């Protein structure tokens, strides 16, 4: 089983939503994704915190995905070792993670970098924003936009994983 590890700050909003979205999409009718599973962790997570209530509501109402049983986890060396790919929500998360676990450099990207197939800083024509902003403490509409941004990036991620698998 290939593990995709989503990483953010506290593992209660973005990475927990990304984990829920990826697993739901990959397990529901997407051929070729049966070898993948997603996990999530936070760089500064408080172990055991639940997913943010707004994140739970937005995924349940907008996508039919229940992440209410999610519990925050702080990233560990074993998570890094076991991950096929590590996808962070921001460039700062990526830089922090690689600073802590330099051995993870070659498999750590921001989610949007990996989904697009480009590293940030590469010469690119599109105006692709590399970071996924943190909705924590913001109104529900911001969580809805965050979930949509994650969904769009995860759809692209799944296409890329399928392409790589067929090579």
Give the domain range for residue 133. Answer: 2-121+129-166
Note the Cα 23 to chain centre separation in Å. Answer: 11
Out of 13, 14, 73, 79, the active site residue is: 14
Residue 134 among the catalytic residues: yes
Sequential DSSP letters for 77-94:
HHHHHHEEEEEESSHHHH
CATH number (domain holding residue 148): 3.40.50.2300
Out of 49, 131, 134, 155, the active site residue is: 134
pTM > 0.75: yes or no: yes
Count of structural domains within the chain: 1
167 residues of the chain, pLDDT tens digit each: 999 999 999 999 999 999 999 999 988 867 778 889 999 999 999 999 999 999 999 999 999 999 999 999 999 999 999 999 999 999 999 999 999 999 999 999 999 999 988 766 554 444 357 899 999 999 999 999 999 999 999 999 999 998 887 75
Compute the distance between CA of residue 134 and CA of residue 83 in angstroms, rounded to an integer.
Answer: 23
**Element containing residue 37 per DSSP (H, E):** strand 36-42
């Amino acid at each position: 089983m290939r593990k995709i590890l989503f990483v953010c700050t506290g593992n209660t909003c973005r990475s927990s939503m990304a984990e829920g979205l990826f697993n739901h999409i990959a397990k529901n009718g997407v051929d070729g994704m049966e070898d993948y599973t997603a996990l999530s962790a936070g760089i500064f997570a408080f172990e055991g915190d639940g997913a943010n209530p707004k994140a739970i509501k937005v995924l349940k109402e907008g996508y039919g995905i229940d992440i209410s049983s999610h519990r925050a986890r702080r990233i560990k060396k074993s998570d890094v070792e076991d991950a096929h790919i590590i996808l962070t929500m921001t460039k700062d998360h990526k830089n922090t993670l690689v600073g802590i676990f330099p051995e993870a450099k070659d498999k750590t990207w921001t989610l949007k970098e990996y989904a697009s197939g480009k590293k940030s800083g590469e010469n690119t024509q599109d105006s692709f924003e590399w970071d996924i902003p943190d909705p924590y403490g913001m109104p529900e509409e911001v969580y809805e936009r965050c979930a949509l941004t994650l969904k769009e990036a995860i759809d692209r991620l799944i296409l890329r994983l399928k392409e790589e698998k067929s090579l």
